[in-house]
Amino acid sequence: MKQYFKNKFALSDQGAKEMVLGILAVVAQNLALMFPVTLLYLFTGYYIDGVNLQSHTGFYIGGIVVCLALIVITSIWQYNTAYKATYKESASRRISLAEKLRKLPLSFFARRDLADLTSTIMSDAEVMEHAGSHMIPQYYGSIISTLIICIGLFFFHWKMALAAVWPIPVALIIVLTSKSVQNHFSRKQRAAQIDLNEGVQEFIETSRDLKSNNAENEYLNGLYEKIDALEKRAVGSELGTAIFVVSAQMLLKFGIGTVALVGGTMLIGGELSLMQFFCFLLVASRLYEPMSGTLINLAAINALQINVDRMNEIHNTKEQEGSADFAPNGYDIVFDHVGFSYKDEKTVLSDVSFTAKQGEVTALVGPSGGGKTTVSRLAARFWDADKGKVTVGGVDVKTVDPETLLGSFSIVFQDVTLFNNTVMENIRVGKKDATDEEVLHAARLANCDEFVKSLPNGYDTVIGENGSELSGGERQRISIARAFLKDAPIILLDEATASLDVENETKVQGALSRLIKDKTVIVIAHRMRTVAGANKIVVLSDGSVAEQGAPTELMERGGVFADMVGLQTEGQDWSIA
């Protein structure tokens, strides 16, 4: 049973165990709630038979105390197992999802929308939390306890039991058959929800551009349409579920009617005693109440499958694996006939071979879409090559655990990601256990001192979301300071100065020249003057190496690189007439 719940609701081993205990607690609670009915039945029987009730006062007082004690104990047990345990499991689920995402290749994120992933971690996990505390244990517990009571009724009087029980399986079948309909509406609602989330996120991120182009009202009109679409989907989903659930709940009401009708007929015919008739009326009054709520829970559980599938999709995605032992012979990076393509897209790299030697700067240049950034990502094992081999110091990167491999890389991206924290802590991202002195030393090497001193609290200044309080050049220098702090033997520079003005570019290049000393350096650049001092140029075009060699050698050949230099030189002479 534990394995069943683990698979069906994406639970951990402990979560599945707690789920079983929660169901047992609900069963115990439901059965405990039947004890007052038994006590009332005995009291009524004694009264009708003319027994002196005063002589049984102690029995009834004791019975009431026992009933209250059982109800309190089972209710506390049910609360602890169905609520406290569920919240622990919810925390564990979110952490496990985050840990899984941390270990997945970037190709997974290229296929999935970030709003969709955020919805899975937050919304889907929240739905499962509510289901685990309010629906799943109550549903299975009610089914089991009702089954136990029904079996007892058949031993008591099978004809009356049949009259009381028949609506229950019919009502369950009605709700169970609605699963495909519910899933259809739930998928439509989920798609509308994700579409709205994406629209809101995009509006926040692009509000400056929308305002500057007088396009804000037009975009908001589209956003309002997405809100209306989600509302319609939500109403449709609720209506589609309610049709089945309400129909099934109405059917349960017929149970009391059939008990009264069949019981009355049998009572007149002498086939049933008055106390038996009274007993079945009492039980029927309690039998259908939990089942009415159970039908709602069943409908909700039917709809959970989509949430479970989305979480299982993450958990079942294959991780990048490899050895934690990485002992390369130096840090030369070799691409040996490497081919790569993104899923469901055209080939990005077809046959790439070159060597980036330690102690040298290897520049990757070429037209946009030629595969430059992909090459750098394959070197750091953000993705795995489809064919060929990428090695670092003679070790195939596919055999190395990604986190272990990345310990040897410092990467400076064109788009810097900063956190809403202090300058000090943003730099410390490069080495989490670094001392303040180490952080300050790295900051000085990256020319950060100049602008940090002008900040209100120096290195303790909070710089806003993604460094909103800083300029592009200042943010870039913090990124370089991280690389200094990490002091890895391999440096990847992806358009690190492309968006900077001349003054900031000069400062950043000065910092980079200190950073790359005696390391294996791969530089991606569009500006030819940025790579003029490189030891080796690799020109990528249409996913393959068009030519490679020293800058002077390539200029003498008059090939692709020389043409690119010539075009940029002509572009520098352009001016507004």
Residue 244 belongs to some domain of the structure: yes
Residue 548 belongs to some domain of the structure: no
Beta-carbon neighbour count of residue 115 at 10 Å?
18
How many degrees, rounded to 5, is the angle at CA 510 between CA 507 and CA 512?
110
Coil vs helix vs strand at 190: helix
DSSP single-letter state for residue 383:
S
Residue 372 belongs to some domain of the structure: no
Residue-level length of the chain: 577
Tokens matching residue 561:
């690189």
Give the C-alpha separation, 222 to 315, whole Å. 35
Give the C-alpha separation, 419 to 72, whole Å. 49
Tokens 């989600």 belong to which residue?
230
DSSP single-letter state for residue 333:
E
Q: How many domains does the chain have?
A: 1
Q: What is the pLDDT of residue 500?
A: 58
Residue 335 belongs to some domain of the structure: no
Contact criterion met (CB below 8 Å) for 412 and 494 = yes
Give the C-alpha separation, 65 to 122, whole Å. 44
Amino acid occupying residue 522: I
Residue 62 belongs to some domain of the structure: yes
Give the C-alpha separation, 543 to 526, whole Å. 16
Contact criterion met (CB below 8 Å) for 244 and 177 = yes
How far is CA 540 from its chain centroid? 36
Q: Please list the pLDDT of the chain residue by residue as tens digits (577 residues).
A: 777 777 777 777 887 788 888 888 888 888 888 777 777 767 776 666 666 666 667 777 888 888 889 889 988 888 888 777 788 888 888 888 888 887 777 767 766 776 677 777 777 777 787 777 778 888 888 888 888 888 888 888 888 888 888 888 888 888 878 777 777 787 788 788 888 888 887 888 788 788 888 888 888 888 888 889 888 888 888 787 778 888 888 888 888 888 888 888 888 888 887 777 777 777 777 777 777 777 777 777 777 777 788 788 788 888 778 888 888 998 999 999 999 887 656 778 888 999 999 988 898 888 877 788 888 888 988 888 889 999 999 999 999 988 888 889 888 877 788 888 898 999 998 888 889 999 998 888 888 888 888 888 889 988 887 777 788 778 888 888 888 888 889 988 887 665 556 666 676 667 667 777 778 989 887 777 667 778 899 988 888 888 898 888 888 888 887 887 777 666 555 555 4
Contact criterion met (CB below 8 Å) for 524 and 372 = yes
Q: Give the structural domain span for 254.
A: 2-315
Contact criterion met (CB below 8 Å) for 152 and 200 = no
Give the C-alpha separation, 398 to 323, whole Å. 9
Residue 485 belongs to some domain of the structure: no
Give the C-alpha separation, 166 to 169, whole Å. 6
Q: How, if at all, do strands 387-392 and 395-396 pair?
A: antiparallel
270 class by beta-carbon count within 10 Å (0-12 exposed, 13-18 middle, 19+ buried): exposed
Of 289, 293, 188, 169, give the one whose Cα is nearest residue 233.
188
Give the C-alpha separation, 313 to 289, whole Å. 37
Contact criterion met (CB below 8 Å) for 33 and 113 = no
Tell how many helices (H) and how many strands (E) occur in the chain.
Answer: 23, 10
Residue 37 belongs to some domain of the structure: yes
Give the C-alpha separation, 155 to 128, whole Å. 39
> Please, where are the H alpha helices in 429-547?
436-445, 449-452, 472-486, 502-515
DSSP single-letter state for residue 394:
T
Of 381, 228, 351, 241, give the one whose Cα is nearest residue 297.
241
Q: What is the pLDDT of residue 336?
A: 92
Q: In the sheet where 395-396 sits, what is the strand order?
A: 395-396, 387-392, 333-341, 347-356, 544-549, 536-541, 361-365, 520-524, 490-494, 409-412
Q: What is the pLDDT of residue 250?
A: 83
Amino acid occupying residue 398: K
Beta-carbon neighbour count of residue 336 at 10 Å?
15
Residue 427: CA count within 13 A, CB half-sphere: 31
- What angle in degrees, to the nearest 10, is found between the helix axes of 13-32 and 85-103? 160
Burial of 535-547, coded b for 16+ CB within 10 Å and e otherwise, reads ebbbbbbebbbbb
Residue 207 belongs to some domain of the structure: yes
Give the C-alpha separation, 62 to 35, whole Å. 12
> Please, where are the H alpha helices in 355-501?
372-379, 402-406, 423-428, 436-445, 449-452, 472-486
CA distance from start to end of the chain = 79
Contact criterion met (CB below 8 Å) for 537 and 365 = yes
Give the C-alpha separation, 248 to 146, whole Å. 16
What distances in angstroms separate CA 138 from CA 116, 135, 298, 301, 545, one per listed residue?
A: 30, 5, 10, 11, 63
How far is CA 34 from its chain centroid? 42
How many degrees, rounded to 5, is the angle at CA 78 between CA 299 and CA 166?
45
Tell me the CATH number at 252. Answer: 1.20.1560.10
Tokens matching residue 229:
């679409």
Tell me the Cα Rg of the chain: 35
